[in-house]
Amino acid sequence: MTPTSSSTASTASSAGVFDDVVRSESSLRRFLHGLPGVDQVGCEARAAGLATRSIKTTSKAFAIDLAIRMVDLTTLEGQDTHGKVRALASKAMRPDPADPSCPATAAVCVYPDMVATAKQTLGDSGVNVAAVATAFPSGRAAMDIKLADTRDAVEAGADEIDMVIDRGAFLSGRYLDVYEEIAQVKEACGDAHLKVIFETGELQTYDNVRRASWLAMMAGGHFIKTSTGKVQPAATLPVTLIMLEAVRDFREQTGQMVGVKPAGGIKTTKDAIKYLVMVNEIAGPDWLDPDWFRFGASTLLNDLLMQRTKMTTGRYSGPDYFTLD
């Protein structure tokens, strides 16, 4: 899943657009605090309104297959084993063994030490390996350790790196530190794609989500991601809406597309379809693609498969017929 050539080509040009902004701590703060404030009530009402759309029959079938292709099948537990990662990678390639027409997921998302195992199982199947690096999930480590963590994962074969920002620095207003951190990790990523996790549950306000989005996009993140999944609340519709607005506005200004990944708490097909409706309405149909929108999830996949089976067989399916993971 590599980005289209036009968007990679524009990376360099967009860096120039913000040279003035990132020149100093104060100019960066002026820019971020100059972003229009988020109307909290309006944003939540808009998200709730979009969530009432009814998606049925062929549209629903399309949405389910698209959502499966967008899943970053995730296991980020202290108890992960190589066996579990292999099982998960097999499931990512063939989510429904009983139905060859079922598409593969976009990626599997694991800790850096599991990257080699995942890569070995996935081979050249087209399913990417994403690794969470930079002292996930807290991000509390020295910079050189974060960079070493990132390089480790890339060397082991990770196609995508999910980094966490230093929320402490962000909340205390040291935006330039966060900017530098993202830029350095991006450099360490080399060819791997960089997803920047904000942990929106810790950012306190919607205004902060908008600022973090712009900060990460200016620093060169390929994706902006809501949460680690370890903090509640994780991904919510209003937060994702703000991030989708940010990537839309960023493209208008720079011509460069950035992806969005809500992660954590999306468990049902109904939820996933609400997100897809929002992607289409806020960012636009260009983002309805696994290259530009992902779901960080594990339990979601089984519900998508059950709904898919319901649509193909005409009867309700049950969890007994899908793997536990």
5, 57, 83, 315: residue in contact with another protein (rule CB under 8 A): 315
Of 96, 261, 274, 291, which is the active-site residue? 261
52, 124, 320, 324: residue in contact with another protein (rule CB under 8 A): 320
Q: Which is nearer to another protein, 11 or 323 (CB)?
A: 323
37, 190, 233, 319: residue in contact with another protein (rule CB under 8 A): 319
- The DSSP line for 246-277 is HHHHHHHHHS---EEE-BSS--SHHHHHHHHH
Q: Which is nearer to another protein, 62 or 321 (CB)?
A: 321
Of 149, 162, 166, 291, which is the active-site residue? 162
Of 91, 119, 146, 225, which is the active-site residue? 225
- Choose one: 171-179, 236-244, 271-279, 311-319; the region binding another protein (CB under 8 A): 311-319
Alpha helices (runs of H) in 71-142, residue ranges in sequence order: 82-93, 115-122
To the nearest 10°, the Cα dihedral for 233, 236, 239, 243?
120
Rounded Cα distance between 113 and 149, Å, is 10
Q: Is 195 a catalytic residue?
A: no
211, 316, 323, 324: residue in contact with another protein (rule CB under 8 A): 316
**Shortest distance, CB of residue 316 to another protein, whole angstroms?**
4
**Shortest distance, CB of residue 151 to another protein, whole angstroms?**
45
Q: Which is nearer to another protein, 100 or 315 (CB)?
A: 315
Tell me how crowded residue 115 is: count the other CB atoms within 10 A of its CB: 25
- Choose one: 31-39, 128-136, 153-161, 316-324; the region binding another protein (CB under 8 A): 316-324
Q: Is 225 a catalytic residue?
A: yes
Residue 314 touches another protein, criterion: CB under 8 A: yes
Residue 318 touches another protein, criterion: CB under 8 A: yes
Q: Which two tokens stand for residue 251?
A: 């493209």
Residues in Cβ contact with 147 at an 8 Å cutoff, skipping those fewer than 6 apart: 184, 185, 188
First to last CA, the chain: 24
Q: Hey, what amino acid is at 185?
A: V
Q: Which is nearer to another protein, 199 or 303 (CB)?
A: 303
- The DSSP line for 307-321 is HHHHHHHSS---GGG
Q: Contact, 201 vs 234, CB < 8 A?
A: yes
- Choose one: 3-11, 43-51, 162-170, 315-323; the region binding another protein (CB under 8 A): 315-323
Q: Which two tokens stand for residue 178?
A: 């966060």
- Choose one: 151-159, 256-264, 271-279, 312-320; the region binding another protein (CB under 8 A): 312-320
Rounded Cα distance between 11 and 255, Å, is 9
Q: Is 261 a catalytic residue?
A: yes
Residue 317 touches another protein, criterion: CB under 8 A: yes
Size of interface with another protein, in residues (CB under 8 A): 8
* Residue of 141, 137, 115, 140 lying closest to 128 (CA atoms): 115
**Contact positions toward another protein, by CB under 8 A?**
314-321
Catalytic residues: 162, 225, 261
